[in-house]
Structure 1
Amino acid sequence: MAYRYLGNSGLKISDITYGNWLTHGGQVENEVATACVHAALDHGITTFDTADVYANTVAEQVLGNALKGQRRESLEIFTKVWGATGPKGPNDSGLSRKHILESINGSLRRLGTDYVDLYQAHRYDPETPLEETMLAFADIVRQGKALYIGVSEWTADQLRAGHALASELGIHLISNQPQYSMLWRVIEEEVVPASEDLGISQIVWSPLAQGVLTGKYLPGQPAPEGSRATDAEGSKSVSRYLDDEILTAVQNLRPIAEQVGLSMPQLALAWVLSNPNIASAIIGASRPEQIADNVAASGTTLEQEVLDRIDEAIGHVVERDPSKTDRPTQRPS
């Protein structure tokens, strides 16, 4: 396992992060979830990402239980705030001071820890003054409940504004968590250059494009039984990629992967990690054996000729529009 610094901080994280969106408390039983977490630990993953909104707080609890007995100082535990939780009342979402300060306490209790290494704003909240949000984060850091602050799916301008306020308050905003993969590159034009200037790293989600880059979805054929596309919740996120033109292009990656001695998932993860602004790629798993294949991408270097061949194979179906960064216009309910 390779480790990288997160932003301009002194914190190192594994370049493969284990995340539990859609799986813990949802797609897999708790015993399987625990086995996946233990497999991640066995393969050198030290960084774990969750959010209070996943399975309406249940995912945090499952992760906390799975990590019981581990040396806390050897782990980096990340969670997030913003999404609607609990009974989803008027103050049960967003980035108000009330919601943030109440949410961190709930997350720590469910995770079974006194602090998280990184506390992230899951989305930007246009209905709350940014000053209010960042001051609440600063108070959490000063209380020792979080060591660093991050965000998720913020635009370049939002990152600049948030970083400036964090710096004034004496706290470290060091990361952004956007979607990023061979097929979804909307952060490259604006977010990555801004982040490089600010000393912010990306911890990216969906590096396998919801499983499409594994090559298991074939053009003109039904989705494999038990895949995310056949799951009621998961199908919402994968549907944008289930286009025959995209699926045909993805199959063109198979000989490239074979040439460099990688599986399709390993090639996709190695491609993401070839971007120097990426600190870590988040993987999920419904079976422990998936972990072993994914972590083999850690530390892999792809030559420029391979990167060029990948672009030739799929460049015509890549989404690059920076305006497609996820930007909520109101709080979730």
Structure 2
Amino acid sequence: MEYRRLGASGLVVPALSLGTGTFGGRGPLFANWGATDAREARRLLDIAIDAGLTMFDSADVYSDGASEEVLGQAIKGRRDQVLISTKAGLPTGDGPLDAGTSRARLTTAVDAALRRLGTDHIDLFQLHAFDAGTPVEEVLATLDDLVRAGKIRYTGVSNFAGWELMKSLDAADRHGRTRYVANQVYYSLIGRDYEWELMPLGRDQGVGALVWSPLGWGRLTGRIRRGTPLPADSRLHATADYGPPVDEELLYDVVDVLDALAEETGRTVPQIAINWLLRRPTVSSVIIGARNEEQLRQNLDAVGWELTPEQVARLDAVSTREAPYPYFPYRRQEGFARLNPPMAG
């Protein structure tokens, strides 16, 4: 396993983390992802920890809290060997205190997560979404109190726009509050929007990326190809509307190149897609998923080797799409690019 610092923090994390969205199996979305119970989860953690993957990511909305409960049971007796990352902020009910990141909600959410996880601290706590109704100063003060109380150790965000993250970082600096060190983002060969603004922001401000859905919401598994129907057992039949939009022609073009590289390298399509992400700027860890041991072992083999520069260039070329304003001049015109060069891999 490779290890990296999380952003500009002192926290060292594995290059691969394991997402626990498949744990629990409750609700219309997560029931289609998987229903891993505590016994199965413990076996997956055995394999992961043996391979050096020691960070596990969850959220209070994953299977209505069951994901955190199963993870908590799976880590019993080895809490000091693992890093726990979880999130809160999205609605968990219809009540006024069941959503958002107010002081009342965050305090309650963290205590509830600690109970479900069976631990006294969360290594990385992230806001699952930006709450426009709560002042960022209130959010930061609450998180700072939770850090000082020892309930959480590092903080981060997920699904924030660039201005929302920068506003929060500026407020943290002005008021001397705990600073976000992680940004959990969607990023894949068929979804490279992260590169336009959030990636440069992360490099400038020392915020490391934790990548969710590195296989494009299950589209880069090697089972979807041009001219063939979606496999009957694909979870995309039930979950496609929950995930990021994808241009089908882009998908097929990328898969064509991935297939060719798989033949050249002897690696699988998912391994190549994940390996490409591991070499991108600001990426601290890529969150992989696994419904069974076979999937986990295959994804673990995405580390420990590198594509050649020529192979990376082919993936870059096929997956690149024209950036929107105000980003496109800096990629298209030499004068703009001299002032603000695009970030390289």
1:57 alignment counterpart: 65
Structure 2 contact 4–284 (Cα < 8 Å) conserved:
yes
Q: Distance in 1 between matches of 2:204 and 2:105?
A: 31
Checking the alignment, whether the CA contact within 8 Å between 2:14 and 2:53 is kept in structure 1 is yes
1:163–1:173 CA contact under 8 A, matched in 2: yes
TM-score where L is the length of structure 1: 0.89
In the alignment, is residue 224 of structure 1 matched against residue 231 of structure 2? yes
Matched, 1:43 2:51: yes
Deviations 1:15-66 (A, max 9, x none): 1010112553332241433332332223221001000011111111111111
Q: Is the 8 A contact 2:23 2:41 kept in 1?
A: yes
Give the C-alpha shift of residue 255 in structure 1: 1.1
Aligned residue type for 1:150: G
Task: Render the CA deviation track for 1:260-310: whole Å, top value 9, x for unaligned.
Answer: 332111111111111130000001111111111111122433332111111
TM-score (norm 2): 0.86
Partner of 2:335: none
Q: 2:289 aligns with which of 266, 284, 288?
A: 284
Rounded to whole Å, the distance in 2 between the matches of 1:189 and 1:291 is 31
Aligned to 1:326: none
Name the residue aligned to 2:15: 15
1:58-137 matches, within 5 Å, as 58-70=66-78, 72-85=79-92, 87-137=93-143
Tell me the distance in 1 between the aligned counterparts of 2:266 and 2:228. Answer: 27
**Distance verdict in 2 for CA 1:123–1:322, change over 3 Å:** farther
Q: Which residue of 1 aligns with 2:265?
A: 260
Partner of 2:330: none
| Map of 1:4 onto structure 2 | 4
By relative contact order (CA 8 Å, sep 6+), the higher-ranking structure is: 1
CA distance in 2, matches of 1:213, 1:131: 40
Q: Aligned pair in 2 of structure 1 residues 296, 320: CA closer, same or farther (>3 Å)?
A: farther
Q: Secondary structure at the match of 1:213?
A: coil
Tell me how far 1:225 sits from its aligned partner.
Answer: 3.5
Q: Determine helix, strand or coil for the equivalent of 1:173.
A: coil
Identify unmatched segments of 5+ residues in structure 2: 26-30, 327-345
Using a 3 Å threshold, how does the CA distance of structure 1 residues 36 and 218 change in structure 2: closer, same or farther? same
SS in 1 for 2:124: strand
Residue 219 (structure 2) aligned to one of 195, 199, 212: 212
Q: Aligned partner of 2:126: which letter?
A: Q
Partners of 2:270 and 2:186 in 1: CA distance: 16
Q: Distance in 2 between matches of 1:302 and 1:237?
A: 31
Q: Deviation of residue 222 (structure 1)? A: 2.8
Query: Within 1, Cα distance between the matches of 2:81 and 2:100?
Result: 31
User: Once superposed, which parts of structure 1, at least 4 consecutive aligned residues long, lie more than 6 Å away?
Assistant: none
- Code of the residue aligned with 1:32 in structure 2: it is E
Contact 1:156–1:195 (Cα < 8 Å) also in 2: no
Q: 1:171 to 1:307 in 2, by over 3 A?
A: same
User: Where does residue 331 of structure 2 map in the other structure?
Assistant: none
* Partner Cα distance (2:323, 2:60) in 1: 30
Partner of 1:180: 187
Cα distance per residue 1:117-162 (max 9 Å; x no partner): 1110111111111111111111110100000110002122222221
Distance 2:325 2:41 in 1: 35
Aligned residue for 1:331?
Answer: none
CA distance in 2, matches of 1:61, 1:53: 12
Mapping of residues 239-250 of structure 1, within 5 Å: 240-241=245-246, 243=248, 246-250=251-255
Q: SS at 1:78's partner residue?
A: strand
Partner of 2:300: 295
Structure 1 pair 111/196, CA: closer, same or farther in 2 (3 Å)?
same
AA aligned opposite 2:77: G
Contact 1:84 1:92 in 2 (8 A): yes
Alpha-carbon distance in 1 for matches of 2:248, 2:202: 32
Give the paired residue count: 317
Select the structure of larger CA radius of gyration. Answer: 2
Which letter maps to 1:308? A
Matched, 1:194 2:201: yes
Contact 2:17–2:56 under 8 Å retained in 1: yes
- The AA in structure 1 aligned to 2:55 is T
Please say if residues 218 and 236 of structure 2, whose CA atoms lie closer than 8 Å, have aligned partners that are also in contact.
no
